Structure 1
Amino acid sequence: MGTSCSMCVKGKKRSLEYNCMDVRNSLEEEEEDRSVNQIPFLEEKIVFNILTWLPAEELHNLTCVCRLWLRIIKSSSFIQAHLRRSKPGLITIEANCTTSPSVLLRTNILKKQDDIIMVREFTAPSRITWSSCNGLILLGRFVDTVGKLLLANPATKRLMQLPSPTHGTNSMFDHIFGMTYLPSIKTHKVIHWFTCSANNKMLGWEILTIGDRTWGRLKTCHTKLQIISESRKIVFVKDVAHWVATEDDSKFVVSLDMIEDEDQIHKTELPCCFSGVDELLDIGGVLSFVSRVDNRSTHFDIWGLKDICEGNWVKQRTIRLEGVSKNLLVVGAAALENGKVIIFRAGEPSTYCYYTYDVQLKQTRYLDFDSGKIALVLPHVDSLVSCRRLYF
């Protein structure tokens, strides 16, 4: 009898303990539910600001989270805000040794420690990379015709074909293309310089507003200016397009204001003799001429064009690339961080290597891309800018 009572008491105690545990667990769950319910609702502007810090590729994949995020990420105001916050890096184009008509683009971001982070790969059906602007890449392909132009965004994996140029010869060496964004009219434009005839007696240019189906009016001028193979790229500084041309064995900078006067080109003498390894760059918003002092030196003079009309060049500085062989062919390739970092390319096309020069620290560092043979680098920023909707 006593034993039975003792067991009953123990059973009741055990049952009471279980009940207390159930009550305690229930209270904890209710407390958690109340805590979750007490999380404040984030205002849309807060979500907007948080999302601007994320990489473009991740944002592109987050559009399916909810309708609010989709609406924010696709809005023009968000695309602009994200673009302003994005840090510029490099787009690298690998050398294509095969007959395949494609180019592999790799986006790399330079950190302050000069490390290279591989962000993504993007393959496009093209053999020529002309320029980069606001996260968009202008690509070209020549096959027995003037060629085709493609517009690509490596972050969103979007690709769009542009209207084909209607003028020029069949040789890719008689053409130069470039793309820029004109903030005053909120428009992206592509400019096409070309030689009009086989005897190089006439220079022509036409401009395409991205989104239009046809190129603008053809403009020509009778001149001895010719496109040179050593520097086949266009540099844009403050709505003005610049490129290097030759005339009677002399080299000049040819400029075209894409806002004020699209019908008139301006010619400016270079500050020193063009050696074939010199290059025009946008360094800190100033059209700059990076000139090697001599072919057996790693010293470079950097000149800035202060006034296009008067042709006033001012020597900004002379720099020395330490640790770079004097026997290599070295040329300025790009500038980053508002001109604080200058990228140099050294070697021959099959063995290109790249170096960075920190203007403030006066330090030279080798860039290890940890990939295949790099044929070309361009300043690039990751963005959500659409290939089709380019009007901010």
Structure 2
Amino acid sequence: MAERFSFSIAATDGKARTGTIRMMRGDIRTPAFMPVGTAATVKAMKPETVRATGADIILGNTYHLMLRPGAERVARLGGLHKFMNWNRPILTDSGGYQVMSLSELTKMSEDGVEFQSHLDGSRHMLTPERSMEIQRLLGSDIVMAFDECTKNGATREEAQASMERSMRWARRSRDGFDSGKDHAARAALFGIQQGSLDKDMRAASAKALIEIGFDGYAIGGLAVGEGQEAMFDVLDYAPGQLPADKPRYLMGVGKPDDLVGAVERGVDMFDCVLPSRSGRNGQAFTAQGALNIRNAKFAEDLAPLDENCACAVCKNHSRAYLHHLIRAKEILGAMLMTEHNIAYYQSLMAGMRGAIAEGRFADFAARFRADYLGSNGAD
């Protein structure tokens, strides 16, 4: 019988690790990048195309799915995997970040967060228990604890109060998850470390989460406007505060150079809307840096987006054609650009996994930075 959840590390190189998460719906190779399927779709991509890029797992969003089409409806229709025709693992975030960032008239209490839908103005209450229930109804494979994402620029007192509330909610999330015995028998639960940019607060958060006990641990409260240098300062110590034998997931990150720097510091899992959102808006990620396909210089450029990319888009379509599609606002342009970007991210993760396994990650990272950051492809 397939395992509910396990994590094994195959090799390390400095702080960087490569390994495998094993779950009932399939293995997840780490370091892993999870394409974001906010509303039961990775925008502009078919599920089989997402899988063909090399993705082992995708992310769904509790907040958006609870509002539309509704978690109970998804459950009646057979669960999120059947609903969107994705038969591999799905991680669902808890909804906490979106409640804070997208909703109007938000009212927070110890119980949870009352908020107004950004869709129709209806009022809702999201608590740790309700978040666990929604993720159970969706059929999530990796469930995220409900937390408060501490805002960038919070005072020390605000950050401390926010972190401590998140730890109380983490305990309630654990209890709520465990109460759904059938789902808990086949899914995993991750806790989320908070503490803003403060090392001691992050240590206290990690200690509280470890005492509760989770299958994996996320580093939350970063990529919220603090900048890469400040984020890396936290990542210099935060992963080491979490258990070495569990996956470490950096939420909402990020640009290709963010991913390389975070893997260098011991992170195993990532998600971000950037490759899909950028693709729809005409930005392609390549080994030589990001390029804006809208630029007039690509109008008659017959080269692929990236000479070194093996994806179907680069094999079959020119920069000139993609330039035309995006400028003409053709739907196919968004589809092809997104497919390339997701494939590039998956290729980057595969390259890092191979480099770690072969003990050459430092050389890989140096070469990546020379090519990617040393270019002016975005011009």
Q: TM-score, normalised by structure 1?
A: 0.29
Higher relative contact order (CA 8 A, sep 6+): 2
Higher strand share: 1
- Which has the larger share of helix? 2
TM-score, normalised via structure 2 length: 0.29
